[in-house]
Amino acid sequence: MNEQELWRLMRRVRDGKMSRRAFVRRMAAVGLTAPMATQLLAFAGVSPASAQSVPEYKPTRRGGGQVKIIYWQGATLLNPHFAVGTKDQDGSRLFYEPLAGWAADGTLVPILAAEIPSIENRGLAEDGRSVTWKLRRDVKWHDGEPFSADDVVFNWEYARDPATASVSVGSYRDINVVKVDDFTVRVEFQKPTPFWADAFVASRGMIIPKHKFKDYVGANSRDAPTNLRPVGTAAYRFAEFQPGDLVKGEANPNYYLPNRPFFDSVEVKGGGDAVSAARAVLQTGEFDYAWNLQVEDEILKRLEAAGRGRVNIVEGGNIEFIQLNQTDPWTEVDGERSSIKTTHPSLSDPAVRKALSLLVDKKSIQDFIYGRGGPATANFLNNPPRFRSPNMTWEFNIARANEILDQAGWARGPDGIRAKGGVKLKYVFQTSINAPRQKTQQIIKQAAQRAGIDIEIKSVTASVFFSSDVANPDTYTKFYADIQMYTTTMTQADPQLFMNQYCSWEIASKENKWQGRNIVRWRNEEYDRTFRAAEGELDPVKRAALFIKLNDLIVGSNAIIPLVQRPLVSASLNALRAPLSAWDNTFWLLRDWYRET
């Protein structure tokens, strides 16, 4: 099926000449999965029934008592423009709302916006240079002031000022925001921008009130009293805040949606550790919901057996993967190792990389280490489903790895280790100290041994490994080892930012203080070209195809080996209904949380 035919079919669905179901069936026949087909429809302007993205909200009245949530790291600040970590973003999200949020399936859901901009409703410009947001007219701040386009424009002015030192500056500095009328704003881009849903959307788009912050733009931003006593638009309004310990909200009686919120108050308690947080929900039922449970699946299963609560697993784009250094970590050039001016003596050989990828037993890693918290995957880019490549496969095959190495001329020496031209297949494999990672290292080391590859295991304290300390040689961005493993996170439902990790201009080096994102230091002209094309491609279907190609290029090169996906794991009591999403904050739809009776 070619692209034109696809568009013809999608138009027919839009015009009502073909049912959605028939379309999905046709797509399945040509090998496209159902979620992907629905995504295509969404992009062609056929909005999916709302029930598809967001579960139905059933309560018909308010007054549901208190909901108690436990975070093993408490929120430390409540200004969304200063909130770096998810714990702080979640704390802010209790009281503030963005124009739109991301649902679990990677589609946008309007919150303060009246509708999601599209080509059809003239929200999106045909040339991709602007997006026009229509705002709800019935929204009031918690202090009674009306919400309007001025507030939205103010957030842009506030965040883009470098002196404010907001962490959201990246989303706002390169755009221009214009007030069209009191309830319409237009975001203008410098160049055609297919991914327009960044500013004012989700965790970086929470809107703070102009009337409270207008005197605190720039250097005195930290003195704003509202930083600690937020005044927002959300379903719960501020009650109490103890940094690092407790955030409390009470129901907003004037919320703009009927019967919402369900609960009279919400309490988020911080501190402690993940295992006991899981215990407090699953075993003792002291709390209703526990966030981010990076706990071994076996423990979770045991706690779940108490029958009080369940573990929620929400798929996102985070992935645990292995990098094979493409530069030489053992030669120093101009004061840096792993310099882009060198090439790795053996890992630059595609045969060696292929063999290593065959030596990773992903199934055992999934079954015995990560469980439900880490399904094995062949792709680097796994979600949203419309960007998932169907072309990649993986297998664990030691015999085949041996065969490939034999053919490539890597012969076993007297010590059993393969070598060619004086270069031995001996590697240092580093990762952070974390029990599942050390177990994975062991599994790979043992398999490699049977193929004549010697792996020396190294583990670095997490606070050093993930630090940006320029003076420390053991950070993951310096990559002074042959192989390394960690989790990279995908913070948006769009893969553009995620896939720039293999562009040649992102290579980490001494020059950019190792802040470049291409840590494996892999270079490929075709990849660079395809990425540039994807950046400017306005046709969503073609753009998805470009990202799939990017995934296939990097995974196919075997310079990285994807291991397991890392979905978001949380726990909640059986009666609690909480719509969650991996593309947005935990509290992105807190207004829809309720307790079933």
Partner 1 sequence: MSQYLLRRLLIAIPSLLGISVVLFTVLALAPGDPFEELATNPAVPPEVRAALRAKFGLDDPVMVRYFRWLVAMINGDWGYSFVSRVNVDELILSRLPVTLVILGSSQVLALMIALPVGVFAATRPYSVFDQIANTFAFVGFSLPTFFTGLLFILLFSITLDWLPFVYRADIDATGWAWFWAHFKQSIMPITVLGLFQGAAWTRFVRSSVLDVIRLDYVTTARSKGLPERVVIVKHVVRNALIPVVTLVALQMPSVFGGAIVTEQIFRVPGIGSLLISAILANDTPVIMAVTFVFACLVVFFNLLADILYGWLDPRISYR
Q: Which of 38, 39, 53, 73 binds partner 1 (CB under 8 A)?
A: 73
Nearest distance from residue 461's CB to partner 1, in Å?
8
Query: Residue 417, interface with partner 1 (CB under 8 A)?
Result: no
Q: 249 and 263 in contact (C-beta within 8 Å)? A: no
Interface positions, 154-193, toward partner 1 (CB under 8 A): 162, 165-167, 169-171
Nearest distance from residue 272's CB to partner 1, in Å?
4
* Span interacting with partner 1, options 104-112, 430-438, 489-497, 532-540, rule CB under 8 A: 489-497
Q: Which of 47, 438, 459, 491 binds partner 1 (CB under 8 A)?
A: 491
Nearest distance from residue 5's CB to partner 1, in Å?
37
Q: Which of 193, 492, 581, 585 binds partner 1 (CB under 8 A)?
A: 492
* Span interacting with partner 1, options 269-277, 348-356, 401-409, 422-430, rule CB under 8 A: 269-277
Which residue, 342 or 383, is less far from partner 1 as judged by CB?
383
3-state SS string for 404-451: HHHHCCCEECCCCCEEECCEECEEEEEEECCHHHHHHHHHHHHHHHCC
Which residue, 100 or 453, is less far from partner 1 as judged by CB?
100
* Span interacting with partner 1, options 74-82, 104-112, 132-140, 535-543, rule CB under 8 A: 74-82
Nearest distance from residue 219's CB to partner 1, in Å?
8
Neighbour tally for 36: CB within 10 Å:
20
Query: Residue 515, interface with partner 1 (CB under 8 A)?
Result: yes
Nearest distance from residue 58's CB to partner 1, in Å?
26
Query: Residue 248, interface with partner 1 (CB under 8 A)?
Result: yes
Interface positions, 329-388, toward partner 1 (CB under 8 A): none
Which residue, 57 or 289, is less far from partner 1 as judged by CB?
289
| Cα→Cα distances 386→82, 105, 544, 561, 563, Å | 32, 10, 7, 21, 20
Q: Which long-range contacts (CB under 8 A, 24 or more apart) does 361-369 make?
A: 361/396, 361/443, 361/444, 361/447, 362/394, 362/396, 362/563, 362/564, 363/396, 364/396, 364/443, 365/440, 365/443, 365/563, 365/564, 366/564, 368/439, 369/436, 369/439, 369/440, 369/443
* SS3 (DSSP) at 77: coil
Nearest distance from residue 395's CB to partner 1, in Å?
31
Nearest distance from residue 572's CB to partner 1, in Å?
16
| Helices and strands, number each (H, E), in the chain | 18, 22
For residues 319 and 311, give the distance between their C-alpha atoms in angstroms, rounded to a whole number: 20
Q: Which of 50, 259, 442, 472 binds partner 1 (CB under 8 A)?
A: 472
Query: Residue 279, interface with partner 1 (CB under 8 A)?
Result: yes
Q: Which of 53, 155, 283, 572 binds partner 1 (CB under 8 A)?
A: 283
Q: Which of 19, 22, 85, 542 binds partner 1 (CB under 8 A)?
A: 85
Q: Which of 314, 497, 541, 545 binds partner 1 (CB under 8 A)?
A: 497
For residues 501 and 471, give the distance between their C-alpha atoms in angstroms, rounded to a whole number: 23
For residues 361 and 40, give the distance between their C-alpha atoms in angstroms, rounded to a whole number: 34
Nearest distance from residue 235's CB to partner 1, in Å?
19
Q: Which of 286, 298, 332, 415 binds partner 1 (CB under 8 A)?
A: 286
Q: Which of 146, 244, 409, 413 binds partner 1 (CB under 8 A)?
A: 244
Q: 523 and 502 in contact (C-beta within 8 Å)? A: no
Q: Which two tokens stand for residue 214?
A: 């207008």
Helix-helix angle 540-556:3-14, to 10 degrees = 140
**# of chain residues touching partner 1 (CB under 8 A):** 60
Q: Which two tokens stand for residue 354?
A: 């292929």
Query: Residue 240, interface with partner 1 (CB under 8 A)?
Result: yes
Peptide bond into 384 cis (omega under 30): yes
Q: Which of 189, 370, 480, 498 binds partner 1 (CB under 8 A)?
A: 498
Query: Residue 238, interface with partner 1 (CB under 8 A)?
Result: no
For residues 34 and 526, give the distance between their C-alpha atoms in angstroms, rounded to a whole number: 30
Query: Residue 433, interface with partner 1 (CB under 8 A)?
Result: no
Q: 444 and 320 in contact (C-beta within 8 Å)? A: no
Nearest distance from residue 246's CB to partner 1, in Å?
6
Q: How many CA atoms lie within 13 A of 129 on its CB side?
A: 3
Q: 130 and 186 in contact (C-beta within 8 Å)? A: yes
* Span interacting with partner 1, options 238-246, 378-386, 397-405, 576-584, rule CB under 8 A: 238-246
Which residue, 89 or 379, is less far from partner 1 as judged by CB?
89
* Span interacting with partner 1, options 140-148, 281-289, 344-352, 426-434, rule CB under 8 A: 281-289
* SS3 (DSSP) at 197: coil
For residues 298 and 282, give the distance between their C-alpha atoms in angstroms, rounded to a whole number: 14
Quote the radius of gyration of the chain (alpha carbons, Å).
25
Interface positions, 198-237, toward partner 1 (CB under 8 A): 204, 222, 227-228
Nearest distance from residue 517's CB to partner 1, in Å?
6
CA neighbor of 508 nearest in space, from 381, 337, 256: 337
* Span interacting with partner 1, options 13-21, 65-73, 396-404, 434-442, rule CB under 8 A: 65-73
Q: Which two tokens stand for residue 146?
A: 């009306």
Q: Which of 13, 36, 69, 77 binds partner 1 (CB under 8 A)?
A: 77
Nearest distance from residue 185's CB to partner 1, in Å?
22
Q: Which of 48, 55, 243, 385 binds partner 1 (CB under 8 A)?
A: 243
Q: 125 and 186 in contact (C-beta within 8 Å)? A: no
Torsion angle of the four alpha carbons 46, 47, 53, 58, in this order, in degrees rounded to the nearest 10: -140
Applying CB under 8 A, the residues found at the interface with partner 1 are: 66, 70, 73-74, 76-77, 79, 82, 84-85, 162, 165-167, 169-171, 204, 222, 227-228, 240, 242-246, 248, 265, 267, 269-272, 276, 279-280, 283-284, 286-287, 461, 463-464, 466-469, 472, 489, 491-492, 497-498, 500-501, 512-513, 515, 517
